[in-house]
Chain A
Amino acid sequence: MTIHPLLAALRRHKAGVVLIALQIALTLAIVCNAIFIIGSRIERIHRPTGLDESNLFMVAQSWVGAPTGDDQATTDKLDSLLQADLATLRNLPDVQSATPISSLPLANSTWSGGVSTKPDEKNEPAQVIYYFGGKDLLKTLGVKLAAGRDFTDAEIGNRAFRAPNKTAITIVSQAMADKLFPNHDALGKTIYFDGSSTPTTIIGIVERLQASSVDSWANDFAWNTALVPTRLDGNFSRYAVRAKPGRLRSAMDAAVPALYKANPMRVFYMDGKGVRAFDEMRASAYRADRGMAILMGVICLILLAVTGAGIVGLTSFWVGQRHKQIGVRRALGARKRDILRYFQTENLLIAGGGALAGIVLAIGLNLWLMKRFEMDRIPVAYVLFGVAVVLALGQLAVFAPARRAANVPPVVATRSV
């Protein structure tokens, strides 16, 4: 089949052709970027924290009427309250292990600082997110050691909540280790936290441990984390608790009543519930990302539906308009398949033209979003996928009206209007 008559026919509907092509171009531009947003959000939502997330939950509470201050007596008193709570939690039948902890990945309460390989450095080269924890820290979190060893119970210390961090040992994430020691020889090396002169030895490296915040300010050091074997003694406390396999709910249900029973003068956080399963923390940390992905998905669907319907509508109109000519072609020997092919090719040409313009628009939109909203560069694959989607959409939409055209009987040619 020759393209020439097809082009000649298109030239007679210039405005309609331009409008459809424009619509396809805009659709492509928006769909590419929306799918890219969806893709990157899904990737973000599903990245593992490095913890064994099942059977893990957090308890957050504060003691009412407990002393405040950082003197030794107060710290001792608060530490005994903390130890009492831990004993209560560890004694629950469905609890496997529990540890005090300053925060958890995705918990959105962050303790960050600077870290350097030199002492007394004012402008540290790297930022770090701390997790201060007690006995059974690694076991409870379920993080995997890539090198080195776990803390021993004797190495766990405690300090007042607002006292400076002066730990002699730490376990850091692989990302943190590689950032400080690009030659991958971090184990056993000495580092200095927060511009201090206190040397801290890296005794272990965990494969992966995410930061406690997923907000954009922490993006640059989202995997640079350090575990510090220190119980923080303040008025409030958080505990990470690992339930026995499959016993998460019953362990969570038992935790708050048991703590209240041991000491009623306290308040529980996290909407007053006091406990939150890790998967709930994950859902709430990524709620905005999930929402954005869903929103973009809905918009994409509407967009494709509208554009598809528009193609159906306009092609139907053209079929109606060319009713007689189709009859003539059929009478002159064109097969049904030729008519079908004609409309399909016509659509492919228009959609192809629109898609070419759409690629430019899609990249332009992406560049603009990058400049204004710190978005990443769109990978070519997304654009190509978008092109495939709009071309397929065009073919799908044109099929019904094209078949109707193919079914126009040749006898139409002999009838006058």
Chain B
Amino acid sequence: MLAYYLDLAVRSLKRSPGLTALMVLTIAFGVSASMTAWSVFRAVSGDPIPWKSAQLYVPQIDMWGPQAQQNNPDSDKGPPDALDYGDAVALMRDHRAKLQSAMYPIGPSVVPADAAKHPITTSGHAVFSEFFPLVDVPFEYGSGWSAADDEHRAPVAVISNKLNAKVFEGANSVGKMLNIDGRDYRVVGVMGEWNPQPVFYDITNTGGFARESEDLFLPFNTAIAANLANNGNTNCNETPDAGFEGLQKSHCIWIAYMVQLDSASAAREYKSYLEGFARTRFPDWAPNVRLRNLPDWLDHQHVVPSDTRVSLLIALGLLIVCLVNTAGLLLAKFLRRSSEIGVRRALGAPRAAIYAQFLTEGAMIGLAGGVIGLLLTGVGVVSVGWVLPRQIANLAHLDFSLLATTLAVSVIASVLAALYPTSRAARVVPAWQLKSN
């Protein structure tokens, strides 16, 4: 029976090629615009570490007190987004979570052994040894460093495969020495391809999306001892003493912190530990702490740009207009065939058969629109690269799931659009149509 309906649909569509083309193109444009917007939205709102994002938490402590909170634009008067040095180091010393790391961004220069080459700028983070298992950094060679290395301020480094290619021609460089800002560090690990976006472990300093992947990681204590100043945001509610040391003594915030807690009860325990911690360190005011898991934290930090959300909404609006448009055209097209429907009904076709026939026709339009929509979506995803900020546009890509969604949305949308016209067509009274001719 389906073959018969398909045949009928093709005949009907062929009968008015202009109208058919109009409907197909309408669906194609509507679907591809929304799919292009969706591809960007999907890219920036995706979970960067889906297998453990629920176990990762970001602790916040109010080290500034209620006085400073008067200027806080946030309605919940939550604590600052980052930690000061003293609190971060004290949290690390207490070591209450399964895995934890304080971290801050660094941007040292790497001096190649070959004196003829210019030094290279890098970007990276100073972290603790637990950072690597915490965020599941993949390694091509070697591994992270040990807790003892943290303790002893060992001059060790983990570098990216990109930096490894630049400095060591891609060979296994574990054990080799690397000159970073004039000091020698021993390479202990070379990371595999790793560039999570958003840079979830340090949203406060990166703002979410970075154009380049990170080149190197050094031990936190080593970096502090080497006076490697932070290369990110510093936020103060007091004027710190001079120098990087002054910053470390101040309550200025510049350190990101992440912990892994495997169960809800572990999270509750950690939260109450945080409250106790805040009470001891800041006895002058009631503890104001937060412990957000990673998805909540990304949401709280507005990692998805509101432009991306607005674009998606507007594009969905466009899709709805396209649906209404197609519904109107189908209505006209179906009702023109009232006499044909009348004949079919009079010959004994049940309403269900009319439904099947016309919905098949709608689905066919959707399929054709979807195929053209695939091409247009491809064009759209490539073109957003030219107009959107690169760090966001780079993330939008075509893949099987996007293409499959495009086709599915297209067919479903056109069947939906055909629903009302079909119901009208099915209500045609046979006798009436037969009589009027």
A residues with CB within 8 A of B? 15-16, 19-20, 22-23, 26-27, 29-30, 33-34, 37, 62, 64-65, 68-70, 122-123, 160, 162-165, 194-196, 235, 260, 264-269, 272, 287-288, 290-292, 294-296, 298-299, 302-303, 305-307, 309-310, 312-314, 316-318, 320-321, 369, 372-375
Contact = CB atoms under 8 A, between A and B. Distances in A.
A303 B109 contact: no
A163 B19 CA distance: 73
A314 B306 CA distance: 37
> Looking at A160, A162, A265, which has the most chain B CB atoms within 10 Å of its CB?
A162
B10 interface: no
B332 A314 contact: yes
B120 interface: yes
B432 interface: no
A20 B329 CA distance: 10
Contacts of A268: 121
B119 interface: yes
Interface in B298-334: 305-307, 309-311, 314-315, 317-318, 320-322, 324-325, 327-329, 331-333
A69 B332 contact: no
Task: List 4 tightest A-B contacts by C-beta distance, closest first.
Answer: A70-B243, A291-B387, A19-B328, A317-B332
A160 B68 CA distance: 27
B227 A69 contact: yes
A302 B29 contact: yes
A321 B336 contact: yes
Interface in B1-58: 18-19, 22, 25-26, 29-30, 33, 37
Given A27-B321, A68-B229, A62 B310 contact: no
Given A267-B118, A267-B120, A64 B324 contact: no
Interface in B316-367: 317-318, 320-322, 324-325, 327-329, 331-333, 336
B244 interface: yes
Contact of A16 (B229, B238, B331): B331
Interface string B219-239: 000000001110000000111
B7 to A, nearest CB: 24
B119 A64 contact: yes
B264 interface: no
B29 A296 contact: no
Contacts, number: 175
B240 interface: yes
29 contacts: A15-B424, A20-B328, A22-B324, A23-B321, A29-B317, A30-B318, A64-B109, A64-B119, A64-B182, A68-B244, A70-B246, A122-B67, A123-B67, A123-B71, A165-B239, A266-B119, A291-B387, A295-B384, A306-B30, A306-B325, A310-B329, A313-B18, A313-B22, A316-B19, A317-B329, A320-B336, A373-B306, A373-B310, A374-B306
A288 B389 contact: yes
Given A64-B182, A163-B242, A196-B239, A26 B26 contact: no
Contact of A65 (B182, B247, B306, B389): B182
A289 to B, nearest CB: 8
A336 to B, nearest CB: 24
A317 B337 CA distance: 12
A69 B247 CA distance: 12
Contacts of B336: 317, 320-321
Contact of A267 (B121, B384, B390, B392): B121
Contact of A19 (B327, B384, B393): B327
B365 to A, nearest CB: 13
A269 B281 CA distance: 40
B163 to A, nearest CB: 13
